[in-house]
Amino acid sequence: MNLRKENILIVDDDIDILELLQRHLQAMDYHTYKAVSVKEALFILKDTFIDLIITDIQMPEIDGLQLLKFANEHYPEIPKLVVTGYPSIEATLEVIKSGATDYLTKPFTKAELKEAIEKALTQNTFRKKTKSTPTTSDKYPYSDMVGESEAFKKVTNIIERVKDNKATVIVTGESGTGKELVARAIHYSGKFSREPFIAVNCAAIPENLQEAELFGYMKGAFTGATENRNGFFQAAKGGTLFLDEIGTASLAVQTKLLRALQEKEITRVGSQKIEKVDIRIIAATNANLRNEIKNNTFREDLFYRLTVVEINVPPLRERKSDIAILTEKFLRKYGIEFKDRLLRISPEALKVLERYNWPGNIRELENIIQRAVIMADGSIEVKDLPDFLKYQIEFSDNGLRPLIDIEKEYIQRVLAHTKGNKTRAAEILGIDRKTLREKLK
């Protein structure tokens, strides 16, 4: 049986209905994802490519209408099919206005479900071919990457050029700028998006295990190798292997990476057999690899193989016009997660964010917004932001004096107060009479 490519998200707080829909859809050869709440559905939408949403309306906390409205604005290209046991003319109108493609009343037959799904998917295909007006998805088509600054557009322009080929790409930039997001955008916006995307943090793998983890190993290759095992290269077959912090790879691993890039082949640890690999490699680093080449810690030939295309992700201080857009994104994310609602930020608080230089880049901004959402009672105000972001008075160091001068002056004041009584002065100062005598000398 050939499985279809469509991924369908089912949202219903009734477990029995979820299971029934899943069985029907799997029998029709669709891939399915289940969510028992709108909050869970949003997490799936964020991380998964979905072709159709099937949702109930009557659900606790956040109902299906809210999900429809949210998905209609943020995922307008996804058709939405509503199934409900409470039909009415008013409800139907509200559902259609909220962005639903079709409306199915419980109980329904498997044939009715199949017809509604095929109709929704067909309409979506037609819409993709004929749409001409820009949508939210058109504006920000690169998953979690959002922005409108010139610096941001330079990055997305390169993504657009490399997304449909398997040229090797290296992504550079400071920590926290979103290098992995760039790699994911290249993969998931291109024609290889259905294939695996495997992210590997080279710095997180002990040096003595890097080769085995990346290329796989054979049983008995080393102590503890009790079975044959695939590595990350095999796992990424046909797709993209993202090697983060590539500068931390050992020289031995760098040699094998060079061969993999040049010859498109690898060898497992403990094996003599050569395996062909068909993957795209995207590497990332916040280090200066040219300096590492000078220090003989990174291979120059590998560097040139990796930098077929280089994308430099700008720090947030160079794209401050994007702070408002990024803030809105994080407010939406953490407002739903922590408060079950969308939050806003006051203009004054936003000005504070735009004034700051963000040494930790987008990751730091996300952490600040996450904290502010938790601390805020309503919209995010200046009082909800950390003190270090707010205006600071820098006192001049003019007139500051050495500690020994201040100590001398204070001892003299205490002696004047005790009218020269050294015993009493020592008690006030918290030292013994002998120490006071030494200080007076």
Query: DSSP readout, 369-432?
Result: HHHHHHH-SSSB-GGGS-GGGS-------TT---HHHHHHHHHHHHHHHTTT-HHHHHHHHTS-
Among the CATH numbers 1.10.10.60, 3.30.230.30, 3.30.2270.10, 2.40.128.20, which is that of 403-440? Answer: 1.10.10.60
What was the pLDDT predicted at 48?
77
**Which of 292-324 are b and which e, b meaning 16 or more Cβ less than 10 Å from the residue's Cβ?**
bbeeebbbeebbebbeebebbbbbbebbbebbe
Reference 423, options 437, 412, 409, 413; nearest CA is: 437
CATH 1.10.10.60 location in the chain: 403-440
Q: State the amino acid at position 289 in one-letter form.
A: L
Token pair 């996300």 is found at 366
What was the pLDDT predicted at 124?
58
What was the pLDDT predicted at 127?
43
C-alpha span between 260 and 251 (Å, rounded)? 14
In terms of pTM, does the model score above 0.85?
no
Structure tokens at 236: 């990424």
Q: State the amino acid at position 339 in one-letter form.
A: K
C-alpha span between 206 and 430 (Å, rounded)? 55
What was the pLDDT predicted at 396?
60
Q: State the amino acid at position 240 in one-letter form.
A: T
Half-sphere exposure of 399 (CA within 13 A, CB side): 2
Domain 319-389, CATH: 1.10.8.60
Pairing of strands 7-11, 52-55: parallel
Among the CATH numbers 3.40.50.2300, 3.40.50.300, 3.40.50.800, 3.40.640.10, which is that of 150-312? Answer: 3.40.50.300
What was the pLDDT predicted at 294?
94
Sign of CA dihedral 388, 394, 400, 406: negative
C-alpha span between 75 and 405 (Å, rounded)? 69
Cα–chain center distance at 77: 22
Q: What is the pLDDT along the chain (441 residues), one digit of tens a residue?
A: 344 568 899 998 888 888 888 888 888 888 888 888 888 888 888 777 888 999 888 887 787 888 888 887 778 788 888 887 765 545 555 666 666 777 777 778 888 888 888 888 876 554 444 344 344 444 566 667 889 999 999 999 999 999 999 999 999 999 999 999 999 999 988 888 888 899 999 999 998 899 999 999 999 888 888 888 899 999 898 999 999 999 999 999 999 999 999 999 999 999 989 999 999 999 999 999 999 999 999 999 999 999 999 999 999 999 999 999 999 989 988 888 888 777 899 999 999 999 999 999 999 999 999 999 998 888 899 999 998 888 666 556 666 678 888 888 888 888 888 888 888 888 888 888 888 888 887
Structure tokens at 79: 């058709």
Domain 7-130, CATH: 3.40.50.2300
The dihedrals phi and psi of 142, each to the nearest 5 degrees, come to -110, 55
C-alpha span between 153 and 236 (Å, rounded)? 29
C-alpha span between 234 and 355 (Å, rounded)? 46
For residues 66 and 59, is the Cβ–Cβ distance under 8 A?
no
CATH 1.10.8.60 location in the chain: 319-389
Structure tokens at 46: 């964020």
3-state DSSP assignment of residue 237: coil
CATH 3.40.50.2300 location in the chain: 7-130
Measured CA to CA in angstroms, residue 167 lies from 128, 161, 264 at distances of 27, 10, 12
Name residues whose C-beta falls within 8 Å of residue 108's C-beta, 6 or more positions apart in sequence: 83
C-alpha span between 176 and 284 (Å, rounded)? 12
What does R_g of the chain's alpha carbons equal in angstroms? 31
3-state DSSP assignment of residue 172: strand
For residues 50 and 8, is the Cβ–Cβ distance under 8 A?
yes
3-state DSSP assignment of residue 51: coil
CATH 3.40.50.300 location in the chain: 150-312
Reference 83, options 113, 109, 64, 55; nearest CA is: 55
For residues 72 and 51, is the Cβ–Cβ distance under 8 A?
no
